[in-house]
């Protein structure tokens, strides 16, 4: 992604958080505007790494499915990234959604068959996926902008 897009997003977030938000008297509306500013700030900071993270997450899901599910390698071949690096974030995200759906179905199957080790392994994968998407590390940045 071009650096000027990141700069534009950062400028928009700063304007929202520092300039417009203090002008709103209604606490609820100020909070909503602050949330939008935070989302824009997160987007600016995370946009460059989004493709890499999606690629890693997709590969983690594929690896788990290959070793713990009924799905065979041929069915997952279409989700593997090519070495050319030409995949767009939209393409990676679409594959991510499909892989997550497969993972969910497999976890449901494992829960109904009471395979504890596989279920624990799946929960570990889900925790790591959730951890990559957390935004709690940006709370400090938002507090700084409000001071």
Total number of domains in the chain:
1
- The predicted pLDDT at position 6 comes to 73
Task: Return the DSSP state at 84.
Answer: T
Q: Where are the alpha helices (DSSP H) in the chain?
A: 3-14, 27-68, 73-76, 89-113, 116-132, 139-146
27-36, 57-66, 71-80, 98-107: the lowest-pLDDT one: 71-80
Distance CA 6, CA 87 (A): 20
Would you place residue 135 in the very low, low, confident or very high pLDDT band (cuts 50, 70, 90)? Answer: low
Give the Cα separation of 108 and 39 in Å (integer): 32
Residue 85 Ramachandran class (φ > 0 left, ψ -120 to 50 alpha, else beta): left
CA distance readout (Å), 62 to 28, 81, 117, 125: 42, 11, 18, 11
Name which of 15, 47, 6 is nearest 33 in CA terms: 15
Domain hosting residue 28, numbered range? 3-146
Distances 66 to 24, 56, 69, 99, 121 between C-alpha atoms, Å: 52, 15, 6, 12, 13
> pLDDT at residue 84 above 70?
no
| pLDDT value at residue 13 | 86
Identify which of 9-23, 66-80, 95-109 has the greatest average pLDDT. Answer: 95-109
* pLDDT tens column, 48-78: 677 788 888 999 999 999 998 888 888 888 8
Confidence of residue 100 (pLDDT cuts 50, 70, 90): very high
In terms of pLDDT, which residue wins out, 133 or 76?
76
- Which run of H or of E encompasses 18? none
pLDDT at 37 > cutoff 60: yes
Give the global pTM.
Answer: 0.63
Residue 5: predicted pLDDT? 72
């Amino acid at each position: 992604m071009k650096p000027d897009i990141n700069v534009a997003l950062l400028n928009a977030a700063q304007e929202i958080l520092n300039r417009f938000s203090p002008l709103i008297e209604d606490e609820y509306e100020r909070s909503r505007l602050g949330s939008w500013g935070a989302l824009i700030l997160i987007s600016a900071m995370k946009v460059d790494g989004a493709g890499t993270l999606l690629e890693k997450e997709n590969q983690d899901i594929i690896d788990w499915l290959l070793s713990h599910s009924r799905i065979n390698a041929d069915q997952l071949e279409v989700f593997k990234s090519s070495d050319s690096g030409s995949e767009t974030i939209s393409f990676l995200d679409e594959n991510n959604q499909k892989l997550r759906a497969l993972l969910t179905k497999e976890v449901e199957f494992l829960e109904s068959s009471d395979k504890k080790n596989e279920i624990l392994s799946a929960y570990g994968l889900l925790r790591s996926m959730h951890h990559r998407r957390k935004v709690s590390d940006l709370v400090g940045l938002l507090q700084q902008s409000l001071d």
